[in-house]
Amino acid sequence: DICTLRRGDHCMVAAKVVRAICPLLDYVTGWLSRYDVCCVYHHFVILHDVSYLDENGIPRTAAGEIVELLEHTNTVRESIAIVHAMSGGQLLRTPMCLGKFLFDKAQCQRVALADYGDMPCIFRIVRKLSDEDRGEIMARAQTLLDMKPAYNVFGHNCEHTVNAVCRGEAISPQVPVVLRDLARLSIRGFVLLGSALLSKAAGCAQSCGGSRAPGLGGRPFGVAALMCTAVGCATLALPALARYRGARESIEEHRRLAVVDPDAAATLLRTELARAFVVGGGGAAAFVLAALTVHRRA
């Protein structure tokens, strides 16, 4: 419920570089994030208490003002406008201005929460915050807005900024997660390639080399190809199971501390189980289908 958001809340939405270009794509990406298909998230901090939604669905404060958030980002349209302004409309200066812009492509700025109205899911980091804690967060937010720190995807991205505001520590656990996922994706690609090569070798051995090894043919290559497929499936299924286990422990801990009530904890557990099934099971099934397709073509 949007109306439960308060100043100082750390929130996330599914991140994509074409945000605000296509509302349908925003909506689809948001739903994919619920099942961990989207592994990159954009972070921001709420600057006002949400009191109600007006007739247009815009979040407003008790005084009727538009609720704002602090974020460290730009949309594609904003980026194009900035580069155009930097170049003064001169085409020859555009490449140089674009290169300069890429080293500091985002701004630490106030944005209306209504800008994310087309996202079906806005995630909130659950923390117990006193009014004093929220006041400190607002003070740090104003300091960052005044400083306007430079953006760096690895050293000072949106997550660094929000954690600096909400926790007083500029960290981004998402960066190593993304690098880890890229490594896993590379492993799956190499495994699929190896499986294809082994399948082709098995076919060649059966057609022209079987006489040298009666009763064996290309079986060793086929077994190796199956092992490669199993490894690829494991890189999808095992992380999903590990994530579910970690999420279950975290939910139980939050329930024990009364951060979430038992009904909400049960709902979260069911959601995490469904996510593990969709991401782990669905991903493994898709990998097997891809491997079978490669084997048949080989």
Predicted pLDDT at 237: 82
Output the pLDDT for position 50: 93
Answer yes or no: is pLDDT of 76 > 70. Answer: no
Angle value at C-alpha 69, between 8 and 131, nearest 5 degrees: 20
Judge whether 242 and 180 are in contact, CB under 8 Å: no
- pLDDT of 60 reads 92
> What gap in Å lies between CA 72 and CA 262, rounded to an integer?
35
Residue by residue, DSSP assigns 154-183 as TTB-HHHHHHHHHTS----THHHHHHHHHH
Closest among 77, 75, 73, 95 to 86, alpha carbons compared: 95
- Residue entry with tokens 């060649």: 204
- Higher-pLDDT residue of 120 and 139 is 139
C-alpha–C-alpha distance, residues 182 and 122, integer Å = 25
* Residues sharing a CB contact under 8 Å with residue 168, sequence separation 6 or more, in sequence order: 140
pLDDT band at 215 (very low <50, low <70, confident <90, very high): very low
Question: Cα–Cα distance between 171 and 162 in angstroms, integer?
Answer: 9
Burial label for 17, CB within 10 Å (0-12, 13-18, 19+), is exposed
Return d(Cα 94, Cα 189) in angstroms, integer. Answer: 37
Q: Does the reported pTM lie above 0.75?
A: no
Tokens matching residue 67:
């609720």
Mean pLDDT confidence for 5-21: 78
pLDDT at position 140, please?
A: 93
* DSSP-assigned letter for residue 206: I
146-177 core/surface letters (b: 16 or more CB in 10 A; e: else): eeebebeeeebbbbbbbbbbbeeebebebeee
Query: What are the tokens at 74?
Result: 């730009």
Q: Which residue, 69, 148, 75, is CA-closest to 107? A: 148
CA gap 105, 93 in Å, rounded: 17
Q: Let me know how long the chain is.
A: 298
Lowest mean pLDDT segment, chosen from 24-28, 103-107, 289-293: 103-107
- Reference 78, options 159, 13, 18, 151; nearest CA is 18
What pLDDT does residue 18 have?
Answer: 56
| Amino acid code (one letter) for 246 | G
Pairwise CA distance, residues 37 & 54, whole Å: 33
In sign, the C-alpha dihedral spanning 89, 95, 100, 105 is positive
Percent of the chain with pLDDT over 70: 78
Query: Is 60 exceeded by the pLDDT of residue 231?
Result: yes
Q: What is the pLDDT of residue 16?
A: 59
d(CA 198, CA 218) in angstroms, rounded, equals: 9
Q: How confident is the model at residue 214 (pLDDT cuts 50, 70, 90)?
A: very low
- How is residue 57 written in tokens? 């669905």
pLDDT reported for residue 37:
61
Q: What are phi and psi of 201, to 5 degrees?
A: -65, -40
Report whether pLDDT(212) > 60.
Answer: no
